[in-house]
Homo-oligomer: A and B are copies of this chain.
Amino acid sequence: MDNRSKILSCALQLFAARGYDAVGVQEIAEAAGITKPTLYHYFGSKYGLLQSLLQEQFTELQNVLLKVTVYHGDLPLTLTRVTQALFDYAATHRRFYRMQLSMWFAPPDSESLKAISEVNGDQQQILEQLFIQAAQDHGNMRGRHRAYATTFLGMINTYIGLALNNHLALDDELVYKAVHQFMYGIFS
């Protein structure tokens, strides 16, 4: 593994465990077995490191999401696939998802929130597109795609958050429950 990858990997581990603000550049460098100028050579700044980290992981997540967000008239089916994909991604990228989640709920003026907002818009838009398509079949959904996408993602992220702390398991039963809870919320 080259130094750049080593830095990214160690930074992810440290940020996920203690948070962006609480981890120093020096510490990351030591963990990666390099020195600070090397880190600054690749990423320019601590914040740039965070951006690169988020960027690279998020494009992967978005590709997964794009593959699974195809709508063919059966919204529960698509939502089930999306939920499964997100659960699966969270389970196989626990560290990253943990970091991403804590940043999602970070204070409004924190650098963490700023960083993740820059990157997160696409994910939201993919989901919004899905709900816009579905609204063509279900009139009462029209005009609420933004709210639906946010709520859906919020619910999923909550479940993942609970699962990461071992309060529940991300099994098929939970997928089923989550989707039906959400659908129930739409048609009531």
A interface residues (Cβ-Cβ under 8 A, vs B): 15-19, 21-22, 98-99, 101-102, 104-112, 146-147, 150-151, 154-155, 157-159, 161-162, 165, 167-168, 177, 180-181, 184-185, 188
CB distance from A38 to the nearest CB of B (A): 25
Contact between B162 and A107, CB atoms less than 8 A apart: no
Contact between B102 and A106, CB atoms less than 8 A apart: yes
Number of copies of chain A assembled together: 2
Contact between A19 and B185, CB atoms less than 8 A apart: no
Chain A interface, >50% SS class = helix
Contact between B158 and A15, CB atoms less than 8 A apart: no
- State which of B17, B168, B180 has its C-beta within 8 Å of the C-beta of A108: B17
12 further contact pairs, Cβ within 8 A, besides A154-B167, A157-B158: A17-B108, A17-B110, A19-B19, A19-B21, A19-B107, A101-B105, A150-B162, A150-B167, A150-B168, A154-B162, A158-B158, A177-B188
- A168 CA to B144 CA in the complex, in Å? 11
Contact between B147 and A151, CB atoms less than 8 A apart: no
Q: Which residues of the partner chain B approach A177 to less than 8 Å between Cβ atoms?
A: 185, 188
Contact between B167 and A109, CB atoms less than 8 A apart: no
Q: Which residues of the partner chain B approach A99 to less than 8 Å between Cβ atoms?
A: 107
